[in-house]
Amino acid sequence: MQLEKIDDYRWLIPRTYKPGMRTDTVIYASERLLQAIRQDQSLEQAANVAMLPGIVGRALAMPDIHQGYGFPIGGVAAVDEEHGVVSPGGVGFDINCGVRLLSSTLTVKDIKAKLRDLVHQLFRDIPSGTGQSSRIKLSDTDLNNVLEKGPRWAIEHDMGSEADLDHTEERGCIAEADAYAVSERAKQRGRAQLGTLGSGNHFLEVQFVDEVFDAQTAAQYNLEKDRIVVLIHTGSRGLGHQVCTDYVSQLDSAMRKYELHVPDRQLACAPIQSPEGQRYLHAMAASANFAWTNRQCIAHATRGAFKRVFGDNVNLPVIYDVAHNIAKRELHMVDGRQRRVVVHRKGATRAFPNQPVFIPGSMGTASYFLTGQEGAMRETFGSACHGAGRVMSRSAAKKGVTAKEIQKELESRGIIVESLTREGLTEEKPDAYKDIESVVDVVHNAGLAARVARLRPIGVIKG
Amino acid sequence: MALEFELLEHTSDVGILARGDNREEALVAASHGLASILVDPAGFRPLEERYFKAPGRDEAAQIVNWLNEILFFFDTDGLVFVEFTIDSWNSAEIIGRAKGERFDIDHHELRTAVKAATYHQFESHPASRGWEIRVFVDV
């Protein structure tokens, strides 16, 4: 594919690239990252996103873009709320997969001697959810309340405080959530999974502040060098997967009724204002609320584990909790006028000015704390990247290395890892992912989000 | 021809290429392929049975929905299936059954969690030797 270079961090797929594109697509990447991006079909998928009916502005792709299903992972598209479509494929199967960061007053020195105990306690207290049930038993009413109230339900059940909500995107609750738009099958799939981490690239890490780039902003969040933080990366578990499955199927059937055509069936969509579109948005919002509650419950278990190891005086307040797989109704300036749009962010983090943005790494690699910048509001509907993106297939990652070897190698670097599965270690090993530094460089230099601090793991639990 | 499948991998994808003497056998092979992504299927016995109903407006939707039944019962009951029977397959739906055993973390080996079967690069067609189905899953 021939890309037009706009500058060192922006590349254009013009709308003339293929019939059906309604707008241009802009890829945020360096020349080096682009070489990796070209290895899969993600650029083709990013061009397909530009075909969505009602898309406004440009279709966008973040520097961690890689091949997804329908949308690329790292794709952003805003559609007109009145005349556009909503696509479950533009959110993904893991609805409101996201990141919550907890701060502490502890330093590396304070926890070093008991780190192994801490990681073990966290591993015991936070189930992965596969082959291990949640400790939280939900009645039908509880589950409906989780879906419609989000983490407020957890707080009402002594799993957190009001302050946690103050530091969560949307205060953890999208009001249009409707538990009745979520199928019984989805509820069955999620019922035993609240407070569970899941597997794959999901993890909980005990990290320390390795480097501070912006001391003033870091100080606002009580962050300084060597300070301990906890990063929780997970989503809506089987409930969200089933909601996406249900609605891809329903919208796939509804498309004929609305005479909609998309180049890839995983981009199945419906007009936002149609009954099907509305119902999906209600169910997606309920799944997003479930995910925020999931991270709330995991944060509560994390606090319990820290207290058991370090005593009752340890507090782990929430710095922020932000989604990176979601569709949100927002107001944005487009071509000089304010418009109501639904922003699809699939593997992209909301990055409103001064809002914390977390870019999780993978086990041995660093994670980043950034803040959103004005440039994101001007160019990307307030969005930035969400991770590093794979460069190695899972089987390639597993080849020639055992879980024990990875565990040992990480331990030699001072990182203690506990994983339920061998695959959790081998498939997710650090070099299976793009270099996160180069991904962060692009969003920083393009003015979408600014570096605040780099966080390095010393304890990891995985499913 | 024996039922057979192979796993296909790209950077972030896992796919199943399944073959059989006919469409039904290829779907059974794809079902075994999916189970082998979730767990090491060795040691699972056909102890519990579940009924599968996979409706869909076309063959692709029916096959995707059938495979999603496997994921549903794994998440809800912890069941890993080792025997699959297709009772009927018409233009509206696939009806069938599967037998398996509940996953036990102390006795079985968990592999990779699968979120869903997808339409990505989906194929189902007659092949030189019987029938072939290709389906990618989101892991």
Residue with tokens 């692009």: A442
| C-alpha span between B36 and B42 (Å, rounded) | 9
Looking only at the bridges linking them, the beta strands covering A85-86 and A270-271 are antiparallel
Question: What mean pLDDT comes out for the span A219-248?
Answer: 97
Give the Cα separation of A326 and A343 in Å (integer).
Answer: 8
- What H or E segment, with its residue span, contains residue A25? strand A25-28
For residues B35 and A423, which has the higher predicted lDDT (pLDDT)? B35
pLDDT at B13: 78
Q: Quote the pTM value.
A: 0.96
Across chain A, mean pLDDT equals 94
So what's the pLDDT on residue A50? 97
Record: contact A393-B68, CB cut-off 8 A: no
Q: What is the mean pLDDT of chain B?
A: 94
Contact (CB<8Å) A420/B76: no
pLDDT at residue A26 is higher than 80 = yes
The tokens describing A78, both together, are 């805003």
Instruction: State the first-to-last Cα distance of chain A, in angstroms, to the nearest integer.
Output: 38
What integer is the mean pLDDT of A240-269?
94
* For residues A284-302, average pLDDT: 98
Q: Which candidate, B100, B71, B75, places its Cα nearest to that of B85?
A: B100
- Mean pLDDT on A154-180: 97
Between chains, do B14 and A394 touch, taking CB under 8 Å as contact?
Answer: yes
Q: Lowest mean pLDDT: which of A156-170, A399-413, B87-101?
A: A399-413
Q: Is residue B20 over pLDDT 60?
A: yes
Residue B3: the pLDDT is 65
Does A392 score more than 90 pLDDT?
no
At residue A303, the pLDDT reads 98
Return the SS3 of B52: strand
From edge to edge, which strands make up the β-sheet containing A325-334? A4-7, A10-13, A25-28, A55-66, A73-80, A337-346, A325-334
- Percent of residues, chain A, with pLDDT higher than 70: 100
Q: Lowest mean pLDDT of A62-66, A255-259, A416-420, A432-436, name the range.
A: A432-436
Q: Pick from A189, A192, A197, A149: which is nearest to A171 by CA?
A: A149
Residue A403 is predicted with a pLDDT of 87
Q: How confident is the model at residue A422 (pLDDT cuts 50, 70, 90)?
A: confident
Percent pLDDT > 90 in chain A is 84
Catalytic one of A66, A167, A300, A386? A386
What integer pLDDT is reported at residue A400 of this predicted model? 81
Q: Which residues of chain B does A252 touch, with a Cβ-Cβ cutoff of 8 Å?
A: 57, 61, 119
Rounded CA separation A72/A361 (Å): 19
Residue B107 near chain A (CB below 8 Å): no
The pLDDT-based confidence of A280 (bands split at 50, 70, 90) is: very high
Residue A266 with chain B: CB contacts under 8 Å = 118-120
* pLDDT tens-digit readout, B61-117: 999 999 999 999 999 999 999 999 999 999 999 999 999 999 998 899 888 889 999
Give the number of other CB atoms < 10 A from CB of residue B58.
12
A386 is catalytic: yes
Q: What is the pLDDT of residue B2?
A: 60
Q: What gap in Å lies between CA A128 and CA A130, rounded to an integer?
A: 6
Query: Cβ–Cβ of A245/B12 closer than 8 Å?
Result: no
Is the model's pLDDT at B10 over the cut of 80? no
Bridge partner residues of B52 (DSSP): B96
Q: Is B121 exposed, middle or buried (0-12, 13-18, 19+ CB in 10 A)?
A: middle
Q: How many CA atoms within 13 Å lie on the side-chain side of A407?
A: 14
Examine the pLDDT at B1 and tell me if it is beyond 70: no
Residue A266 near chain B (CB below 8 Å): yes
For residue B96, is it left (φ>0), alpha (ψ between -120 and 50) or beta? Answer: beta
Q: What is the ipTM of this complex?
A: 0.94
Segment 284-303 of chain A within 8 Å of chain B by CB: none
Question: Could you say which of B57, B78, B116 has the minimum Cβ distance to residue A131?
Answer: B78
